Amino acid sequence: FFNKMANFKPEGWHYTDAQDNDVGPVSFVQMKALRKSGKLVDDSFLWHFESCPDWTLLKDVSLFNLISEIINE
């Protein structure tokens, strides 16, 4: 868990919108709000130069899901 947390960076994230445009940089807090509003969905891609260096589907980014769960507790 702590090794994963060491790689987590709260700023500088990018995601793809419904038209597959690169949107960002945004913070993790902003992404949480986008997720709740439905603008950031499981089929959105995420990218971060350190935490997620390859464009990855949100539903496959375990670190995002882990942090989300911790924040929601």
Q: What is the DSSP string of 2-64?
A: HHHHHH--SS-EEEE-TT--EEEEE-HHHHHHHHHHTSS-TT-EEEETTTEEEEEEGGG-HHH
Please list the pLDDT of the chain residue by residue as tens digits (73 residues).
Answer: 334 445 556 788 899 999 999 999 998 888 888 988 989 888 999 998 877 788 988 888 776 666 665 555 4
pTM: predicted TM-score of the whole model, two decimal places: 0.74
